[in-house]
Amino acid sequence: MFGGMIAPFGKADYDLASVLTRNRTFMKIRALATLFAAIAYSTLAHAEVRIATVDVSRIVNDSPEAVAKKKELDNYSADLKKKIEAKGKDLQELKEKLEESKVKADSKEAESFRNQVRDFERMRGDAKADLEKRYVKINKELTDKVYGQIEKFAKANNYDLIIDKSDKFRGPILFGAASTDVTDQLLKSSK
């Protein structure tokens, strides 16, 4: 009864196969137009965004100021080491002298020696803590200065984004072309 329906404007206008074909064609055209619009937009967006990478660790370690601070810290460490070694040598000599004179463990001389050893251990611990504290302070100062330098460089050269690539194994940069690396330019500007 319904199988022989005739459309008033011809069979092709209402045929299900032709409607689906037209819809698929329309969808393909629409998808291609969307794709071309997305590509055009992303091309324009990428043309406007300037991105660079920088090895912050290298700048912190290789800048002239960092080299000078490292030398200063090394000299301070060497001075502490000399003082500790001299005190250790004095304690070793005192120990040998006490052993030669066969001083009893409960004597005043032995108690004095034990106190000097405790003071020596405290001195070593304090020296180590002081050295670590100085290292952390210097590292923070240098890092803060480098971040400020990077920010100034980015603003002066119209960079929108500068990413740290210091950590090669766990960092956010999986690949960065050498042309995007501004580390050398920043090192030159810090001299």
3 state SS of 115: helix
What the block records as the tokens of 148 is: 């400020």
Least confident stretch, 9-13, 147-151, 174-178: 9-13
Res 182 pLDDT > 70: yes
pLDDT confidence tier of residue 82, bands split at 50, 70 and 90: very high
**Summary count for the chain: helices (H), strands (E):** 6, 2
Res 4 pLDDT > 60: no
How far apart, in whole angstroms, are the C-alpha atoms of residue 120 and residue 125? 9
Q: What is the pLDDT of residues 61-77, one digit of tens each?
A: 888 888 899 999 999 99
pLDDT at 132: 93
pLDDT at 127: 93
Q: What is the pLDDT of residues 14-33, one digit of tens each?
A: 444 444 455 555 555 665 56
Cα dihedral: 144, 145, 151, 154 (round 10): -140
**Amino acid identity, residue 167?**
D
Q: What is the average pLDDT value for the chain, to the nearest integer?
A: 76
Q: What's the number of CA atoms in the CB half-sphere (13 Å) around residue 57?
A: 6
